[in-house]
Amino acid sequence: MLIPVILSGGAGTRLWPVSRQAFPKPFMTLNDGDTLLGKTLKRAIAVAVPGAVYTVTNRDHYFLTRDAYAHLIDADRAHYLLEPFGRNTAPALILAALAAAEKYGPATQLLALPADHLIRDLDGFKSSVRRASSLADRKYIVTFGITPTRAETGFGYIELGGAIDNNGDLVARFVEKPDSATAEIYLASGKFVWNSGMFCFRADALIEAAQEVAPELLAQCEACYAQARLQTAEPMHFNAETFAAIADISFDYAIMERAPRRAVVKASFDWNDIGSWKSLSELSEPDSDGNAVQGPAVLVDSERCFVQSSGRMVGVVGATDLVVIDTGDAVLVAHRERAQGVKQVVDALRAQAHQAAVVHHTVFRPWGSYTVLEDAQDCKVKRLTVNPGQVLSLQMHHQRTEHWTVVRGVAKVTVGEREMMLHANQSVEIPIETKHRLENTTDEPISLIEVQCGAYFGEDDIVRFEDRYGRV
């Protein structure tokens, strides 16, 4: 039995301003209209036997993930392990192994797939997974190695040991991202492959390896899992206190560098780690000047530029090797070769506690989404979209009033003791410190314009009394 485990964590800071804390890169839409997460799930389904898929993600991203999966996989096949915050790949995979061993048996094989990889050759992927599965069945912990095509300094490397059989090789050692000279030596030797960050192993093999090389980490994960399994319903939420006690460490450092039975399968598929705007721009077909454009843009006397706009017209004149990204509320301009430095912009925004590091103007919620149309000192204006059958929490505010006007559909509204159905072009006033609720009881999305007036408009001025999504 082979069960994929999709690792959908990380902030994707190098792909700001599209990727942000509340909407990280697995949810980014690519130029073909699909998302990285959607593509990863499709690959997972293609090799899943008997069809179950685990996803490890932040609990704040559960509803985004569930909605992204809705038309791709039956709900009863999708299992979720929800983290209260990031704790790296070693805890994620050990917790997944504990869950799979209990539910499906200790010999269950897990296939770890990061949600930010792009692989187009599905047949080659399936072939490599079959070879990895053959080794995992013999209790090897298997990783996938990518044959280098250049002296890359942005990836870790694996040195190949002797061949095990036709399926793969032993791992001689893992090495960190090298400098240029060392990368050239690795490339010329033919003995090194790039570390893809994908793994295949039996659940019991990982637990046994962790007991041998990282017993303290295993004990921390077992305590966290024991707390979470007291729940009777899925998805599985990990308790913040016991989860915080787990070491923040990668799977490579904790397990792969020290495990006794390690193997590497040289991948027979294409592979792209979407880690920067440079790598993402290379997915687009350039024109005769080397420029690639997504969205409205005009380029004049410019070469080898990548421009992406979510709606506004972008003009570029006399530029070379630039990345220009406009999301409507933020603009990035960077040299293609300095694209990795975007993380420094995000670090500076976080130091300023600037919301542009966290959210877009459009923010997704379990019930739908809202878009900020205006954010001024004396008012804040949003457009709310509530999905069919969804309902906002019963809540009130201490520092603002709200005015709702329905622009599409029929909304069920509660204000104090009153309950009413509002149609398009009808509105209601919500006084300060008054309980209220918005609900969509129809089978079509509804939209409203919300005007907030008062002294403070922060999301922390929400007092919840009842909430379907567990946020009270």
Architecture of domain 362-466: Sandwich (2.60)
Q: Is the pLDDT of residue 211 over 80?
A: yes
Burial 378-405 (b: 16+ CB within 10 A, else e): eebbbbbbbbeebbbbbbbbeebebbbb
| Residue pair 445/385 in contact by the 8 Å Cβ criterion | yes
Mean predicted lDDT score pLDDT of the chain: 94
pLDDT digits (tens, 9 = 90+) for 18-36: 999 999 999 988 888 899 9
DSSP labels for 124-142? Answer: HHHHHHHHHHHHHTTT-EE
Q: Give pLDDT, residue 275.
A: 83
Element (H, E) at 196: strand 192-202
Q: Sorting pLDDT into bands at 50, 70 and 90, what band is 415?
A: very high
Q: Give pLDDT, residue 272.
A: 87
Tell me the average pLDDT across 281-303: 94
Q: Give pLDDT, residue 348.
A: 96
Q: Is the pLDDT of residue 296 over 80?
A: yes
Tokens of 247: 């070491």
Q: Is the pLDDT of residue 472 over 80?
A: no
Q: Sorting pLDDT into bands at 50, 70 and 90, what band is 184?
A: very high
Q: Is the pLDDT of residue 101 over 80?
A: yes
pLDDT digits (tens, 9 = 90+) for 233-290: 889 999 999 999 999 999 999 999 999 999 999 998 999 888 889 989 988 899 999 9
| Residue pair 134/199 in contact by the 8 Å Cβ criterion | no
Beginning with the edge strand found earlier in the chain, give each strand of the sheet holding 463-466 in spatial order: 418-422, 411-415, 436-439, 394-396, 463-466
pLDDT digits (tens, 9 = 90+) for 109-137: 999 999 999 999 999 999 999 999 999 99
Q: Where in the chain is the domain with CATH 3.90.550.10?
A: 2-272
Tell me which fold the domain 2-272 belongs to. Answer: Spore Coat Polysaccharide Biosynthesis Protein SpsA; Chain A (3.90.550)
Q: What is the pTM of this model?
A: 0.90
Q: Is the pLDDT of residue 12 over 80?
A: no
| Residue pair 326/312 in contact by the 8 Å Cβ criterion | yes
Which residues fall within 8 angstroms of residue 354, CB to CB, at 6 or more apart? none
How many residues are given for the chain?
472
Nearest C-alpha neighbor of 467 from the set 366, 398, 399: 366
Q: Is the pLDDT of residue 167 over 80?
A: yes
Question: How far apart are alpha carbons 439 and 35 in whole angstroms?
Answer: 29
Question: How far apart are alpha carbons 117 and 271 in whole angstroms?
Answer: 7
Q: Where in the chain is the domain with CATH 2.60.120.10?
A: 362-466
439 CB burial (10 A radius; 0-12, 13-18, 19+): buried
Question: 79-88, 227-236, 375-384, 432-441: which has the minimum mean pLDDT?
Answer: 227-236
Q: Give pLDDT, residue 233.
A: 80
Q: Sorting pLDDT into bands at 50, 70 and 90, what band is 88?
A: very high
| Residue pair 392/413 in contact by the 8 Å Cβ criterion | no
Q: Is the pLDDT of residue 230 over 90?
A: no
Q: Give pLDDT, residue 470.
A: 79
- Residue linked to tokens 């979407």: 274
Tell me the average pLDDT across 184-194: 91
Give the percent of the chain with pLDDT over 70.
100
Tokens of 309: 């706009």
| Residue pair 3/104 in contact by the 8 Å Cβ criterion | yes
3-state DSSP assignment of residue 246: coil
Q: Sorting pLDDT into bands at 50, 70 and 90, what band is 443?
A: very high
Question: 5-14, 46-55, 334-343: which has the minimum mean pLDDT?
Answer: 5-14
| Residue pair 355/19 in contact by the 8 Å Cβ criterion | no
| Residue pair 118/36 in contact by the 8 Å Cβ criterion | yes
